[in-house]
Amino acid sequence: MTKKWWQDKVVYQIYPRSFQDSNGDGIGDLRGIISKLDYLQDLGIDAIWLSPVCRSPQDDNGYDISDYQDIDPMFGTLEDMEELIQKAKERNIQIILDLVLNHSSDEHRWFQEAKKSKDNPYHDYYVWRDGVEGVLPNDMKACFGGPAWEWVPELQQYYFHQFSVKQPDLNWENPKVRREIYDMILWWMEKGVGGFRLDVIDQIAKEPDKGITGNGPRLHEFIRELSKETFQKGNLITVGETWGATPERAKLYSNPDGSEFSMVFQFEHVGLDQEEGKEKWDLRPLPFVELKKNLAKWQKELYGCGWNSLFWNNHDLPRIVSRWGNDKEYRAKSAKMLAAVLHGMQGTPYIYQGEELGMTNVVFQDISHYRDIETRNMYKERMEKGYDEKEIMRSIYAKSRDNARTPMQWNEKENAGFTTGTPWIEVNPNYTEINAEKEQKNPDSVYHFYKKLIRLRKENSIFTEGNFELLMENDEQIFAYTRTTEKEKMCVIANFTDQTASCPLLQKWSEKEKLVHNYETEPEEGILRPYETMIYIDR
């Protein structure tokens, strides 16, 4: 497989409302991001995936867009966006826009027109079914709770929504909708964006009458057309969000011929700590051996014929150090271990804001402090069903999306330096301990560990090219693998637990060149200390 220009790049995700506020309204904005570009350049990343900043009523924090070609005033103006693209480019950083194409906001002009009458030219932009009030077309559920159908009395019709009622699904069967979308994307490409992240893209080809949401029959046909009409006219990084991806599908999505996307996010590993067949709130301990085998499977399957995205975090997921690391005694050690395991694999690493500081989950006392629509709806639904409140809060502490959305912790000043106003969501009280200023000053910090991993990827092509082999696959504590090219071999070793672990691999590898290590001294007699990790290379 010939190497693509983006394959050794590292992407940093910004959730704009929580990154940096520049005007004191408590909400992060584009000028705030511009003011932090030097920080990102210092970290060494190549691209920023920006969660949505387009005009939106913010029912789902911007994933409900009412104008795809304008910036929401809370984030700034189109000129600010142009400046961000420009200033980032000057630092060799590309901006990856978040495209929400499965649905729009109900406040989008198209939907406002669509619900005026059945013969309005925009009516078919959405998915409607005739019906009778109170008798739903079927029992499909929306992802944020409640039915997937909403009644519009004026039309005597239901519209379909996979997410909130304020996020009506767009009708991809309608070629006019597709054309509008392509033109909008081309407009952004002309503005110089470096790529796109495609929100729930595997749900666009839905067939609600058959109960199909993800992986609809026309999915790849739609994606190929989208790619041909837009992305292929530029030289972009594109990544689809695909909760239903299998390796087979991922090979199509990330086909090296460029017919679909550069790569996709697949989520199999992210579902491992929930009870099978249940919801993400239904917790079970992480089956560690399964995690290793799962990640190894994706490494193997896509080798030479596709491309993986590597991520532990995003704006929908809890903080990894709290989830699968240890956010108490071994916070920094385990954050580094998780980073080494992820960045050592083949694919494109994504760092979610604050991950490079080892930011943790948050515990708010009660539900009134939570802002996320999914969390709030679940709380209400489960309270009504009679669940124990403590149990609900336990799920929220473990899995709420707000864990990722508390403001970025810049320094130990008020509100972690995020805003001079009242933040839209409270800052995690641990910001006096965990913040960027402190991390940057300390050469042994999580920040500097990430910085080094990013640099190593640039300096050593084995990170991009090496073939993956899982070692000690049934070991209950150690995650170890090699990466091999014709000339070199690299070994990543990690103790995933807070106990010591005997590791026979050390005998051979400790003689080799060590690229990273999260302890200052050498391990004794082949024993790894809690969360100890190292990457060796044999050149």
Q: Which residues bind ligand NOJ (CB under 6 A)?
A: 60, 63, 100, 163, 199-200, 241, 315-316
Nearest-angstrom CA–CA distance, 123 and 117:
7
Q: Where are the beta strands (DSSP E) in 277-415?
A: 309-310, 348-352
Is 199 noted as a catalytic residue in this protein? yes
Which of 21, 29, 169, 199 is the catalytic position? Answer: 199
Provide the minimum distance between the beta carbon of 406 and ligand NOJ in the complex, in angstroms, as a whole number.
Answer: 15
**Residue appearing with tokens 């082999």:** 469
Strands 513-517 and 533-538, sheet pairing:
antiparallel
Comparing C-alpha atoms, which of 365, 123, 472, 191 is closest to residue 480? Answer: 472
Taking phi first (over 0 means left), then psi (-120 to 50 degrees means alpha), and beta for anything else, what does residue 451 get?
alpha
Between 100 and 480, CB nearer to ligand NOJ: 100
Between 100 and 537, CB nearer to ligand NOJ: 100
Provide the minimum distance between the beta carbon of 342 and ligand NOJ in the complex, in angstroms, as a whole number.
Answer: 19
Provide the minimum distance between the beta carbon of 214 and ligand NOJ in the complex, in angstroms, as a whole number.
Answer: 12
Between 68 and 330, CB nearer to ligand NOJ: 68
Q: Which pair of tokens denotes residue 470? A: 């899982």
Comparing C-alpha atoms, which of 424, 114, 400 is closest to residue 279? Answer: 400
Between 197 and 457, CB nearer to ligand NOJ: 197
Beta bridge partners of 300: none
Nearest-angstrom CA–CA distance, 83 and 304:
38
Which of 241, 327, 355, 532 is the catalytic position? Answer: 241
Radius of gyration for the chain, computed over Cα atoms and rounded to the nearest angstrom: 23
Provide the minimum distance between the beta carbon of 374 and ligand NOJ in the complex, in angstroms, as a whole number.
Answer: 7
Nearest-angstrom CA–CA distance, 271 and 69:
34
Between 21 and 316, CB nearer to ligand NOJ: 316
Which string of DSSP letters, residue by residue, matches 54-119? Answer: EE---TTTTSS-SEEEEE-TTT--HHHHHHHHHHHHHTT-EEEEEE--SB--TTSHHHHHHTT-TT
- Torsions phi, psi of 274, nearest 5? -120, 155
Provide the minimum distance between the beta carbon of 395 and ligand NOJ in the complex, in angstroms, as a whole number.
Answer: 18
- Torsions phi, psi of 326, nearest 5? -140, 110
Q: Which residue is nearest to ligand NOJ (CB)?
A: 63
Is 173 noted as a catalytic residue in this protein? no
Between 60 and 465, CB nearer to ligand NOJ: 60
Provide the minimum distance between the beta carbon of 152 and ligand NOJ in the complex, in angstroms, as a whole number.
Answer: 21
Q: Which letter, b or e, does each residue of 66-99 get, where b requires 16 or more Cβ atoms within 10 Å of its Cβ? A: bbbeebbebbbeeebbeebbebbeeeebbbbbbb
What single-letter amino acid sits at 374? E
Between 317 and 472, CB nearer to ligand NOJ: 317
Between 269 and 438, CB nearer to ligand NOJ: 269
Provide the minimum distance between the beta carbon of 160 and ligand NOJ in the complex, in angstroms, as a whole number.
Answer: 14
Q: List C-alpha distances in Å: 74 to 61, 63, 299, 314, 424.
A: 11, 14, 40, 22, 12
| Residues labelled as active-site residues | 199, 241
